[in-house]
């Protein structure tokens, strides 16, 4: 008896409800805010794929093209459990480029090393479910960097005046800061640039600006019970992590929430975590692994 043929196709922007339904039906994390997830999939550089057998959708992927690093991000993978072993490999591989091109030289993927649920959800957290790890290793992804996702509960406010975050006006200076500081932060990856692009698209990108230089850049996302901060990079020669920690607490308090989410923390940002620990309780620390496939 012939094995059923699997078809893989790109979804049009008006078909994205299909993908969103698939994500929440197959992933324990899924998305928390449907409108935000839909906005991510509507980005010009975001592409979604669905795979089907005998007209039944069994899985799909979402990818993002990073024009800054000339790379790509495997942003999400959604496959029904009964098809993961038989079809997961083909579903993921079919959505990725096969060869290096002028525009795409590698692909990044962020996987969770934790079994507990990621409550932040897609797309503010771009952690792929842990079962995806084996599949993308077989495709040729290899370990690149260990990262972390922190959640804090604020114990006390900051009494002194903190530095002020303002809307970004000079996008080129923001780009230069991220480019210059990402290696020191331990964040040389396309997910950082993806979060920058998404925050700018949603008017959530802010910076700390003094005279003619940008000291820090961040994306501030208002959630019902927390302030989510992604991306977050600074020039440590111009501003301290203590000032950044104070400013994040002030921002959260101003939004009448006592939770701070930091979904992408590199090894060069651990001083920020230490500063926040002085004023907050760590409610969660998720271990993440960045995997990369060179084309």
Tens-level pLDDT at each residue, the chain (295 residues): 456 788 889 999 999 999 999 999 998 888 989 999 999 999 999 999 999 998 899 999 999 999 999 999 999 999 999 999 999 999 999 999 877 787 899 999 999 888 777 889 999 999 999 999 999 999 999 999 999 999 999 987 666 678 899 998 889 999 999 999 999 999 999 999 999 999 999 999 999 998 778 999 999 999 988 999 999 999 999 999 999 999 999 999 989 999 999 999 999 999 999 999 998 999 889 999 999 999 8
pTM of this prediction exceeds 0.85: yes
Q: Are 41 and 19 in contact (CB under 8 A)?
A: yes
β-strands 227-234, 166-167 pairing = unpaired
Element (H, E) at 131: none
β-strands 205-210, 166-167 pairing = antiparallel
Q: Which of 113, 146, 179 is the last residue of a domain?
A: 146
My answer on whether 74 and 162 are in the same domain is: no
My answer on whether 20 and 90 are in the same domain is: yes
Beta-carbon contacts of 245 under 8 Å, excluding residues fewer than 6 positions away, are: 272, 275, 276, 278, 279
Assigned token pair, 188: 């040389």
The total domain count for the chain is: 2
Question: Whole domain around residue 159: which residue ranges?
Answer: 153-287
My answer on whether 193 and 100 are in the same domain is: no
My answer on whether 177 and 261 are in the same domain is: yes
CATH code for the domain in which residue 119 is found: 3.40.630.30
My answer on whether 26 and 129 are in the same domain is: yes
CA–CA distance from 139 to each of 82, 84, 105, 178 (Å)? 20, 14, 15, 30
> Is the residue at 294 inside a domain?
no
């Amino acid at each position: 008896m012939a094995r059923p043929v699997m078809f893989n196709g790109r979804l049009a922007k008006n078909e994205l409800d299909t993908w969103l339904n698939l994500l929440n039906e197959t992933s324990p994390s899924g998305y928390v805010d449907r409108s935000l997830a839909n906005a991510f999939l509507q980005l010009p550089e975001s592409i979604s794929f669905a795979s089907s057998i005998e007209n039944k959708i069994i899985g799909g992927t979402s990818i993002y093209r990073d024009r800054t690093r000339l790379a790509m991000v495997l942003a999400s993978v959604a496959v029904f459990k009964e098809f993961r072993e038989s079809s997961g490999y083909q579903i993921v591989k079919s959505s990725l480029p096969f060869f290096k091109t002028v525009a795409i030289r590698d692909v990044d993927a962020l996987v969770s090393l934790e079994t507990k649920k990621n409550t932040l959800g897609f797309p503010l957290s771009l952690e792929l479910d842990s079962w995806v790890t084996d599949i993308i290793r077989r495709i040729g992804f290899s370990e690149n960097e260990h990262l972390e996702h922190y959640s804090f509960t604020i114990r006390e406010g900051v009494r002194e005046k903190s530095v002020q975050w303002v809307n970004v006006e000079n996008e080129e200076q923001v780009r230069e800061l991220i480019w210059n500081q990402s290696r020191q932060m331990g964040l040389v990856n396309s997910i950082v640039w993806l979060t920058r692009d998404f925050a700018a698209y949603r008017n959530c990108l802010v910076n700390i600006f003094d005279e003619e230089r940008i000291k820090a850049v961040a994306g501030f996302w208002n959630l019902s019970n927390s302030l989510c901060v992604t991306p977050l990079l600074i020039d440590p020669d111009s501003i301290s992590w203590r000032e950044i920690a104070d400013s994040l607490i002030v921002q959260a308090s101003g939004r009448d929430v006592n939770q701070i989410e930091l979904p992408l923390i590199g090894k060069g940002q651990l001083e920020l975590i230490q500063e926040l620990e002085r004023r907050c309780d760590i409610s969660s620390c998720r271990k993440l692994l960045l995997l990369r496939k060179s084309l």
